[in-house]
Structure 1
């Protein structure tokens, strides 16, 4: 397993070598020792699966504010997604974003520290996303930012065709509470 720091501080691309033989394949999904060796203290307390029927389904951009902030390890376990992280931490990086394609075939993942919003667009029908969460979801604490906020100018690879009403209604970055 190899961790490469992204453009946003604390954001890591996680690459897991895929070992294949006649039986199929094997890849390590998470390793506490690897994360700790990189200086990341991440102990998942919850795991979530997001199954998405249609191509170009958009989910996000989601986050929880402190004291409920969530670090997360996001992995696509079926299909492919365009995964996006937006920095919401005070400082010069505020509002910057980074995106990466995650796929089941590549067995790659993205680690997001607390303070980043997260969203994705499915690139294939039947995309399934697995999240390992560093904090539990707290009902009533979900927050979001509009996916097409011009202040962010995220370069989505296609317009979304399916999304929730809640995701359509999030405020822009300038209006977030």
Structure 2
């Protein structure tokens, strides 16, 4: 498995080796040993899955301590533009983001440590998004930032307005946010 580190410390992309033949394709989607060696050593307690139409944008979400979550995300079908925003107040990359295209046929995964906001936009209809979480969902710890915050300057790469939930449209801007991380 190929391991790619990013400028935002702790963010790691894993690209598995694909074994294809006449029957189809096989690849490893998780290796605790390899991921721990790359610094992605979270203990996973919950798996989530969503199915989205093209243009659906979910995020930017996080959970506050003591229920902060690391995530391991990938796409099981379709493609998604994945975004992680560093919210660690002592980080030199605070407020910066990383874009990674997750492609089902490629099998690539992104590890997002606790202290990041996370979101994605489906680039194809019926995109199936899978993610492991290091803590259970805790409604009282929910938080997020606006996906279209001009201070974040995220290029979602779409000419059509994304389909965003009303709840996500009401999230605060970075300038109005006090980081708990």
The verdict on a shared fold, with TM-score over 0.5 as the criterion, is yes
The residue correspondences of 1:47-58 to structure 2 (distance < 5 A) are 47-52=47-52, 54-58=53-57
State how far apart, in whole Å, the 2-side matches of 1:97 and 1:88 are.
Answer: 9
State how far apart, in whole Å, the 1-side matches of 2:132 and 2:161 are.
Answer: 25
Shifted more, 64-73 versus 151-160: the winner is: 151-160
Is 1:134 paired with 2:134? yes
State how far apart, in whole Å, the 2-side matches of 1:14 and 1:40 are.
Answer: 10
2:140 partner SS: coil
2:60 partner SS: strand
- Residue in 2 that maps onto 1:104: 104
4+ residue stretches of structure 1 with deviation over 6 A? none
Contact 2:65 2:141 in 1 (8 A): no
State how far apart, in whole Å, the 2-side matches of 1:10 and 1:101 are.
Answer: 18
2:82 partner SS: strand
Is 1:175 paired with 2:180? no
Task: Give CA-to-partner distance per residue, 1:54-73, whole Å, 9 cap, x none.
Answer: 21100000001111110000
- Cα distance 1:121–1:160, how it changes in 2: closer, same or farther (>3 A)? farther
- Residue 85 (structure 1) shift: 0.2
State how far apart, in whole Å, the 2-side matches of 1:79 and 1:152 are.
Answer: 26
- Residue 81 (structure 1) shift: 0.4
- What RMSD over aligned residues (CA atoms) do the two structures have, in Å? 1.1
State how far apart, in whole Å, the 1-side matches of 2:72 and 2:139 are.
Answer: 20
1:140 partner SS: helix
Can you give the 5+ residue segments of structure 1 that lack an aligned partner in the other structure?
none
State how far apart, in whole Å, the 1-side matches of 2:125 and 2:75 are.
Answer: 12
Can you give the 5+ residue segments of structure 2 that lack an aligned partner in the other structure?
none
State how far apart, in whole Å, the 1-side matches of 2:169 and 2:161 are.
Answer: 11
Is 1:147 paired with 2:147? yes
- Please report the TM-score for the alignment, with normalisation by the length of structure 1: 0.95
State how far apart, in whole Å, the 2-side matches of 1:138 and 1:172 are.
Answer: 22
State how far apart, in whole Å, the 2-side matches of 1:31 and 1:25 are.
Answer: 18
Contact 2:145 2:172 in 1 (8 A): yes
- Cα distance 1:160–1:69, how it changes in 2: closer, same or farther (>3 A)? farther
Aligned length: 176
Contact 2:54 2:123 in 1 (8 A): yes
- Residue in 2 that maps onto 1:114: 114
